[in-house]
Amino acid sequence: MDKRDTQPLKITKNGNLYDTKDKRRERIEEVFTYARDTMRHPNAYHLISHIYDAELFRTTKSKGFIKEFERALKRQYKPDNTRKPKSGNRQKAPNTLIVYSIEYKLTSQEEIDGNSDTYKYGYEKTKEKLPFLHIHLHVIADCTDCIAPSFVNYAKNALNELSGLKSSTYLPTQPKKIKNEIGVYEYEKKKIYKKLKTDFDDAVLRAFYLAKVEQKSPEIPYRNTFGTSKVKKLK
């Protein structure tokens, strides 16, 4: 790959250094900017899903992965399951914008299943790493008519509905060191999502992880491994 098209970048202060593609970073920032400026309550969620059957997922991908996810999300927000506890109003499936990246690496069964209790269910631990074809997503949801913390559960279930995907989970933000009220530095709590109205720069930087060129292995059986929702140019 032409290194002139990439830029080394640290996603978090103590994280790894990744080569990221310029055009992908530009596209990510464009999507996040559009969401911040056009949505009332935009929150960004980082999810990951195991592509357990590459050919089944090829079918999902050919239909339009983003559209298929949006349809599945609407099915998850069925009227019978979506009342707000305080107001009594029904939740509605939020409008979403998506950035995704398909990747491949060797890892543990625990990470593949997205479950720290994996080995309680009959798997044997092994020193040998296992192939893990997966998809990372940053989903930006306008949580005006839904409960922001619980959105991630609807999103995981929607992903698991799609052919070829399973064991979907979310990745909370890694906590930063912040100064508390008495001037002592401590780690903030992990967050399920980032509010674009207040944490825009940090949310975009974390999403730049999807612009990296690492884990783009020949083992990935798809030509296009990166995509975003289409957004209009803001004036």
The 10s digit of each residue's pLDDT in 77-99 is: 987 666 665 666 789 999 999 99
Q: How confident is the model at residue 2 (pLDDT cuts 50, 70, 90)?
A: very low
Query: Minimal CA–CA distance to 114: which of 56, 49, 69?
Result: 49
SS3 229: coil
Most confident of 53-57, 86-90, 127-131: 53-57
Domain ranges in the chain? 3-228
How far apart CA 161 and CA 65 sit, in angstroms, is 12
- Whether 123 has a pLDDT exceeding 70, the answer reads no
Average pLDDT in the 118-127 region? 67
Q: Percentage of residues in the chain with pLDDT exceeding 90? A: 61
Q: How confident is the model at residue 16 (pLDDT cuts 50, 70, 90)?
A: confident
Residue 32 or residue 183, greater confidence: 32
Query: The tokens 């999902």 sit on which residue?
Result: 60
- Whether 218 has a pLDDT exceeding 80, the answer reads yes
- Whether 187 has a pLDDT exceeding 50, the answer reads yes
Residues 6+ apart with CB under 8 A from 235: none
Please tell me the least confidently modeled range out of 16-25, 82-91, 165-174: 82-91
Average pLDDT in the 30-56 region? 97
- Whether 114 has a pLDDT exceeding 90, the answer reads no
Q: Token pair for residue 213? A: 């060129």
Residue 11 or residue 62, greater confidence: 62
Residues 6+ apart with CB under 8 A from 141: 42, 43, 45, 94, 95, 96, 148, 151, 155
How far apart CA 162 and CA 147 sit, in angstroms, is 23
Q: How confident is the model at residue 200 (pLDDT cuts 50, 70, 90)?
A: very high
SS3 173: coil
CB 145 within 8 A of CB 92: yes
How far apart CA 104 and CA 219 sit, in angstroms, is 7
Q: What rounded mean pLDDT belongs to the chain?
A: 87
- Write down the pLDDT at residue 117: 66
- Whether 101 has a pLDDT exceeding 70, the answer reads yes
CB 196 within 8 A of CB 208: no
Residue 175 or residue 61, greater confidence: 61
Residues 6+ apart with CB under 8 A from 131: 104, 106, 219
- Write down the pLDDT at residue 95: 97
CB 98 within 8 A of CB 228: yes
Q: Rounded to 5 degrees, what angle do the CA atoms 226, 228, 232 make?
A: 145
Residues 6+ apart with CB under 8 A from 4: none
How far apart CA 148 and CA 141 sit, in angstroms, is 8
How far apart CA 45 and CA 49 sit, in angstroms, is 13
